[in-house]
Amino acid sequence: MGFKMGIVGLPNVGKSTLFNALTKTAAAQAANFPFCTIEPNVGDVAVPDPRLEKLAAMAGSKQIIPTRMTFVDIAGLVKGASKGEGLGNQFLANIRETDAIAHVLRCFEDGDVTHVEGRVDPIADAETIETELMLADLESVEKRLQNITRKIRGGDKEAVAQERLLKAAQAMLEEGKPARLVPVDADDQKAWKLLQLLTSKPILYVCNVEEASAATGNTQSARVAEMAAAQGAAHVVISARIEEEIAQLDAEEAAMFLEEMGLEEAGLDRLIRAGYALLGLQTYFTVGPKEARAWTIRRGTLAPQAAGVIHGDFERGFIRSETIAYDDYVALGGEVGAKEAGKMRVEGKTYEVKDGDVLHFLFNA
């Protein structure tokens, strides 16, 4: 399981440039005019994880298969999108399909790149998009409440539960706050997700800065950091221009370039790590002579469900998992050394898989 992150923002903030860099393609046309991205561009990228390569080297695996993440570059938004302005309706429909939102904010000055509002103010930009999403959600909630009236009168339990959640969302939105701030009980999580409210999705602010500020950020990105902290949201600082350059280099050249720029890692790595944290995701590994492979699960996933990510039969027929912590696997020279040291554990159906676990599942076909 990977996850799908929608890249959103006003026109000309660097969304498509970032997408091109992240997917190492020129699939999204990065041009200096609004709506250069007409259809959402979708790119699957491998999630970089140095642990996977280390495990593969130790096990002599013939193939390395990383887990993957999907980025969706969505057309630029303008004021009035909730009422269909610009490409509003299409934008709103596309964003519903994503698990999280990476909101790219322009934090750089450049007279050659026009801003749709004629100024550089990332906080105002964030408020513009958030307002449009809240207005769209409010309209959606009101329509749904009207549509389930008859079912509620008929005593439909599911409709009654849906009404309760919709009214909670409506109250929050009418206060000018996003639906993600509504406290939702664990029992209601599935029904809440089915509402597909735009402002219920986790948000990651991506501060697109000039090249010179890529390592340290600037005053504009500092403002975004404050805003994100106040909202309980996440943020990362990236220079889309730098990422675009790195995308054209091989691994050795990219490492040298990053060092020259004072950067410890590429923006893709930071973005994925922030995205993982945002959605509560983690990685476990399966390792053998044939392949070393990474799998993405949510934190708190039990062993049978983790097995089910590989194949449904693994979950249905789950017996137990042979488990080695990543640090033990590496420190003890691999599976054999871990076994001999008593570090391979047999775990049952109630085991909560940990990040970095090396697992082997036993199951009944």
Q: What are the extents of the domains in the chain?
A: 4-46+68-141+197-278, 300-363
Q: Has 280 been labeled as part of a binding site?
A: no
Q: Has 4 been labeled as part of a binding site?
A: no
Q: Has 17 been labeled as part of a binding site?
A: yes
Confidence label for 298 from pLDDT (cuts 50, 70 and 90): very high
Confidence label for 76 from pLDDT (cuts 50, 70 and 90): low
Q: Please say if the pLDDT value at position 158 is more than 80.
A: yes
Crossing angle of the two packed helices 122-147 and 219-231, in degrees rounded to 10: 30
pLDDT above 70 covers a percentage of the chain that reads: 88
Range with the largest mean pLDDT of 16-25, 80-89, 334-343: 334-343
Q: Has 323 been labeled as part of a binding site?
A: no
Q: Has 94 been labeled as part of a binding site?
A: no
Q: Please say if the pLDDT value at position 242 is more than 80.
A: yes
Question: In the prediction, which pLDDT does 26 show?
Answer: 38
Residues 6-21: what's their mean pLDDT?
A: 84
Q: Output phi, psi for 335, to 5 deg.
A: -65, -45
207, 215 contact by CB (below 8 A):
no
CATH superfamily name and code, 300-363: Beta-grasp domain (3.10.20.30)
Confidence label for 244 from pLDDT (cuts 50, 70 and 90): confident
Q: Has 37 been labeled as part of a binding site?
A: no
Question: In the prediction, which pLDDT does 74 show?
Answer: 78
**DSSP one-letter string for 270-336:** HHHHHHHHHHTEEEEEEE-SSEEEEEEEETT-BHHHHHHHH-HHHHHTEEEEEEE-HHHHHHTTSHH
> Edge-to-edge strand order for the sheet containing 100-106?
41-46, 68-73, 4-8, 100-106, 203-208, 234-238
pTM of the complete model beyond 0.85: no
74, 95 contact by CB (below 8 A):
yes
Extract the tokens encoding 324. Answer: 């080695």
Question: In the prediction, which pLDDT does 279 show?
Answer: 86
271, 236 contact by CB (below 8 A):
yes
CATH superfamily name and code, 4-46+68-141+197-278: P-loop containing nucleotide triphosphate hydrolases (3.40.50.300)
Question: In the prediction, which pLDDT does 247 show?
Answer: 82
Question: In the prediction, which pLDDT does 31 show?
Answer: 41
What mean pLDDT, rounded, does the chain reach? 85
pLDDT in tens, 77-130: 555 544 554 444 566 777 788 889 999 999 987 755 555 556 789 999 999 888
Question: In the prediction, which pLDDT does 81 show?
Answer: 47
